[in-house]
Every structure is written in C-alpha cells, then in structure tokens.
Amino acid sequence: MIPAYTNFGGKIHGGILLSLMDKVAYVCASKHAGNYCVTVSVDNVNFIAPVEVGDLVSLKASVNYVGSTSLVVGIRVIAENVQHGTVKHTNTCYFTMVAKDSEGVKAQVPPLILEQPDDIRRFASALRRRTLRSNVSKRMQDFKTDFEVNDEVRDFIADQRCEINLVD
C-alpha cells in the first residue's frame, strides 16, 4: 500500500480497502456466474487491524452461497509486512452480488458445488446471515412504522448519552 492511500491517522483508508474488495467480489462472482455481476449489499464490514503503508495486501475470495440470480462472495483481507515477515488478518466481509445478462436482466447462476466441509460451513453460514438479515430488516421496518415516543422508548434510551428535548 502506498502513502496516497492513507487516512489522517496514517493508516490505509478503509474506503480504499472496500474498493479493492468490491473489485475482487465482482471478479469472483462474474467468474462463477459467467455473467456481469453487480454489488447489492455488503455485510459484516469489520476492520480488525489496520493496514500500514508498505504492507503487501492479499484478498482471498470465494463464492460461499448462490441463490437463483444472486451470489455471496466472502473476502478475507491479509496484510503482510514484508520487511518483518509479519502477517495479519485485517478484514473479512461478505458481498452479495447479482448476475446480469447482456440486456441488464437478472441472470440465473450455476449451482455451487460443495466439495469440502468448509464449503458446507460457508454455505450454511451465508444462508444463516441471509435469514437473520431478513428478520432484522422486518423487525426494524416494523419498529420504524410503529414508532412513537412513549415510556417504553424513554426507558430504553434512559442510560444512553442523549437527552430528550422535544420541540413543538
């Protein structure tokens, strides 16, 4: 990584890493799908350790799950300090991609062949994340739709760093 990629703290900017991951997800998904793929969402973007200027960064990607037109690509980011020989895992995240045909219409993707126990674990984990995300989305939509400031809400946020000061 080069100095131009740094943030104000002197570390490689997270946006640079996200851009690289998006490109790798595109290549991985498109190779499996045999079609152009677009990013639909990114899950679990957690920066575990910083990437330093001069680190050699490797991105390892795999298709972990396929639906009829969508794919989940898992990406693991590794940073290596070649001078000291140290290697660290800096990030793992999951990109949901959708395959598109030459007309821009969603395209069917081939099934995923699971050959190893890790392949099965990754597939099941992706399916679990999908189910959990769907449940959370529905619950949050219900919360937003039914929201009103009441005693339950006041109690819920009472020990947080905020003050309620409603203005009419």
- Distance spanning both ends of the chain, measured CA to CA: 52
DSSP-derived secondary structure letter, 113: P
Does residue 136 fall inside a structural domain?
Answer: yes
Does residue 96 fall inside a structural domain?
Answer: yes
pLDDT at 1 > cutoff 70: no
Does residue 10 fall inside a structural domain?
Answer: yes
Distances from the Cα of 97 to the Cα of 35, 83, 107, 131, 157, angstroms? 11, 36, 11, 17, 36
Does residue 17 fall inside a structural domain?
Answer: yes
Q: pLDDT value at position 168?
A: 77
Does residue 163 fall inside a structural domain?
Answer: no
Does residue 165 fall inside a structural domain?
Answer: no
What is the span of the domain harbouring residue 62? 3-157
Does residue 66 fall inside a structural domain?
Answer: yes
Per-residue pLDDT of 13-53, as tens digits, reads: 889 999 999 999 999 999 999 999 999 999 988 899 999 88
Q: pLDDT value at position 141?
A: 92
Contact 1/53 with Cβ under 8 angstroms? yes
Pairing type for strands 36-47 and 56-66 reads: unpaired
How far apart (Å, rounded) are the C-alpha atoms in residues 100 and 35? 6
Q: CB within 8 A of 144, min separation 6: which ones?
A: none
How far apart (Å, rounded) are the C-alpha atoms in residues 15 and 150? 39
The domain that holds 60 is classified in CATH as: 3.10.129.10
Nearest to 56 by CA among 38, 82, 22: 82
**Tally of domains within the chain:** 1
Contact 42/129 with Cβ under 8 angstroms? no
How far apart (Å, rounded) are the C-alpha atoms in residues 132 and 73? 17
Per-residue pLDDT of 49-79, as tens digits, reads: 999 888 999 999 999 999 999 999 999 999 9
